[in-house]
Amino acid sequence: MKFSAAAGALFAVASSASTVYGFTPSSSLSAFTSSRNVPTPRLLDPAAAYRSPSTALRMSATFTVGVVGATGAVGKEIVGCLEKRSFPVGNLRIFGSKRSAGREVDTDFGKVTVELFSEDAARECDVVFLAVDGDFSLAHAENICAGDGPVVIDNSSAFRYKEGIPLVVPEINAETTKGKKLIANPNCTTAIGLMAVWPLHKLFGLKKMLMSVRLSSTPAKKSHGCSSLFN
């Protein structure tokens, strides 16, 4: 489940899906190329997008990518997605709290030292993933992407219902990211469900869907009122 949430946030590398859904492999990269004056990454072999996701994004441009909260469970999965999907990372920057700052993290992009988060440091990136809680995102996301700041992809619930901020499942509505600096990520259940339902909606036109969800509860949540579930 946590992997799906991280993968959903990674909208820019997820659009190597089939042409059945009517979009191109590089369409969802438009947000950071149009708003940051970065050359649009070019697929060296466009046909590869439909053969192998792991090789689809061999691009000529690279990005400085920041991950805030990368030492947490979702943040680690975002870094893992960047590695597995061959996203063109020229420089990976990992931001954390005072407790995490100074630690070294081994990645496919080399050994990265965790930096103490600051808005100014995050604004030096081309794209920033926020793997943090909603309060943190509300306090910092809009400041990070303001003006000539980077594109921010927020994995929390902070902006999911805010007008003007696209809520994106890349295989469905990647085109809504064009010209946007702040992008919201739906929760993992929504992303998974919509991936299955979207083709049906396009074919038949669904009016309503009811979903019953059972989310896991881990030992880490015992301190948050879930102790009764373990008795």
CA dist 157 to 99, 121, 178, 215, Å? 25, 23, 21, 16
* pLDDT for the residue 129: 97
* pLDDT for the residue 230: 59
Amino acid at position 62, single letter: T
User: In angstroms, rounded to a whole number, what is the distance separating the alpha carbons of residues 82 and 125?
Assistant: 15
User: In angstroms, rounded to a whole number, what is the distance separating the alpha carbons of residues 89 and 2?
Assistant: 22
pLDDT band at 145 (very low <50, low <70, confident <90, very high): very high
User: In angstroms, rounded to a whole number, what is the distance separating the alpha carbons of residues 72 and 214?
Assistant: 22
* pLDDT for the residue 146: 97
* pLDDT for the residue 225: 56
How does pLDDT run across 30-81, given as a tens digit for each residue?
Answer: 444 555 555 444 333 333 333 333 334 444 579 999 999 988 888 999 999 9
Amino acid at position 181, single letter: K
How does pLDDT run across 176-186, given as a tens digit for each residue?
Answer: 999 999 999 99
Q: Which residue has the tokens 């590089």?
A: 26
* Residue (of 6, 187, 25, 154) closest to 83 by Cα position: 6
User: In angstroms, rounded to a whole number, what is the distance separating the alpha carbons of residues 76 and 84?
Assistant: 12
**Residues 173/149, Cβ–Cβ less than 8 Å:** no
Sheet holding 115-116, edge to edge: 115-116, 89-96, 63-68, 127-130, 151-154, 182-184
Asked whether the predicted pLDDT for residue 12 surpasses 70, the reply is no
Mean pLDDT over residues 140-157, rounded? 96
User: In angstroms, rounded to a whole number, what is the distance separating the alpha carbons of residues 190 and 47?
Assistant: 30
